[in-house]
Amino acid sequence: MDDELESLSELLALKDETRTGWELRGIDDPESVAAHTWGTATLCLLFADKADVDRDDAVAMALVHDLPEARTGDVAIRAEDGKQRVSSEEKTRRERDALTDLLEPFADRRLESLWEEYEGRESSTAQFVKDMDLVDNCLQALRYERDGRYDPEVPNEAFDQYENVDEFFATAAPRIRTDIGTDLFERTKAAYEQEIGRECQC
């Protein structure tokens, strides 16, 4: 294949790259990275106007934010100290190198710039997109809880500090930065707490 098709073939593997956090929790048939990307992009599509950010930029940023994982795999962010597989700095370095290589055949520096902007979290668009990324994760946790997609009674060393899927809310809570992100997070958490019949450990 030519270079573009080679990169496309590798990027489309995100359809089959399951998300590590759900695997660690023992979720039955967990979503792929591509499914999470779609969820984040959809939230950006629906709520960009309320966040007063450019919708096209937000959706494009959402679509590119996890592209490097086609090569690096999904490295889960953990709530507990000492449970990261790699440092944040090393994770970013690996992903930057992967993205540069994967996008080289397309000669589109704008996509790399959007990824860098997302990683920097300094612009209002990047903060909004990151919040939608976190909200999507919480919405997915709520769905898995409602659908009974795991057995909370099975011992799980990866989640020994948190009950149910509380860790996903605990990981998100301190990182939400926008008003719309806060609103969506709190509404999702309230629905989750109603589902489990107690307050979330987050």
Q: What's the rounded Cα separation, in Å, for the pair 103 and 68?
A: 10
- Beta bridge mates, 18: 32
Taking alpha carbons only, the member of 106, 114, 7, 127 closest to residue 63 is: 114
Measured torsion, CA atoms of residues 75, 48, 169, 86, in degrees rounded to the nearest 10: 20
Taking alpha carbons only, the member of 140, 134, 108, 102 closest to residue 121 is: 134
Measured torsion, CA atoms of residues 49, 55, 61, 67, in degrees rounded to the nearest 10: 110
Q: What's the rounded Cα separation, in Å, for the pair 93 and 114?
A: 16
pLDDT of 85: 66
How far apart, in Å, are the Cα atoms of 81 and each of 23, 78, 84, 85, 141? Answer: 19, 8, 7, 11, 21
Contacts of residues 83-92 at CB distance under 8 Å and 24 or more positions apart, as own/partner, are 83/158, 92/119
How far apart, in Å, are the Cα atoms of 43 and each of 38, 106, 109, 139, 176? Answer: 9, 27, 25, 11, 15
Q: Is 89 in contact with 33 (CB distance < 8 Å)?
A: no
Radius of gyration of the chain measured on its C-alpha atoms? 17
Q: What is the pTM of this model?
A: 0.93
pLDDT tens digits for the chain (202 residues)?
Answer: 699 999 999 999 999 999 999 999 999 999 999 999 999 999 999 999 999 999 999 999 999 999 999 999 998 765 455 555 677 788 899 999 999 999 999 988 999 999 999 999 999 999 999 999 999 999 999 999 999 999 998 988 878 888 999 999 999 999 999 999 999 999 999 999 999 999 999 8
Max Cα separation, the chain?
55
Identify the architecture of domain 3-196 in CATH. Orthogonal Bundle (1.10)
Q: Which residue is listed with tokens 């695997």?
A: 23
pLDDT of 38: 98
Q: Which residue is listed with tokens 């301190």?
A: 174
Taking alpha carbons only, the member of 62, 59, 95, 79 closest to residue 161 is: 79
pLDDT of 79: 46
